Amino acid sequence: MAKNPEQTSQEPSLLNKKFTRRDMLKTAGAGGVGVLIGASGLGGILSLANAEADHQADKGTDIVSFYGKHQSGIATETQNHLYFVSLDATASNRLELIQLFKDWTEAAARLTKGKPVGDQSPNGFLPPKDTGDAAGLSPSNLTITFGVGPALFVKDGKDRYGLKHKQAKELKDLPAFSLDALEDKWSGGDICIQACADDLQVAFHAVRNLVRIARGKAVIRWAQTGFQRSKQADHGNETPRNLFGFKDGTVNPDVKKARDMNSEVFVTPGSDKDWMVNGSYMVVRRIQMFIEVWDRTTLKEQEKTFGRHRDSGAPLGSQREFDKADFEKKDENGQTVIPAASHMRSAHGEGKQQILRRAYSYADGMDPKTGSFDAGLLFICFQKSPSKQFIPIQERLAKNDKLNEYTVHRGSAIFACLPGIKQGGYIGETLFS
Tell the burial category of 245 from Cβ atoms under 10 Å away from its Cβ (0-12, 13-18, 19+). middle
The C-alpha atoms of residue 351 and residue 16 are separated, in whole angstroms, by: 64
Task: Residue 191: name the closest of 227, 153, 224, 162 by CA.
Answer: 153
The alpha carbon of residue 19 and the mean position of all alpha carbons in its chain are separated, in whole angstroms, by 40
DSSP secondary structure of 319-344: SSTTSPP-TT-B-TTS-BSS-TTSHH
Return the DSSP state at 118.
S
Q: How far is CA 257 from CA 209, 220, 253, 263, in A?
A: 34, 36, 8, 10
141: three-class secondary structure by DSSP:
coil
Task: Residue 346: name the closest of 405, 297, 298, 290 by CA.
Answer: 405
The amino acid that residue 336 corresponds to is: T
Along the 433 residues of the chain, how does pLDDT read in single tens digits? Answer: 444 433 333 333 333 444 444 444 333 343 333 333 333 343 333 333 333 333 343 445 899 999 999 999 999 999 999 999 999 999 999 999 999 999 999 999 999 999 999 877 778 888 899 999 999 999 999 999 999 999 999 999 999 999 999 999 999 999 999 999 999 999 999 999 999 999 999 999 999 999 999 999 999 999 999 999 998 899 888 999 999 999 998 999 999 999 999 999 999 999 999 999 999 999 999 999 999 999 999 999 999 999 999 999 999 999 999 999 999 999 999 999 999 999 999 999 988 899 999 999 999 999 998 899 999 999 999 999 999 999 999 999 999 999 999 999 999 999 999 999 999 999 999 999 9
**CA geometry: angle 229, 386, 277, nearest 5 deg:** 95
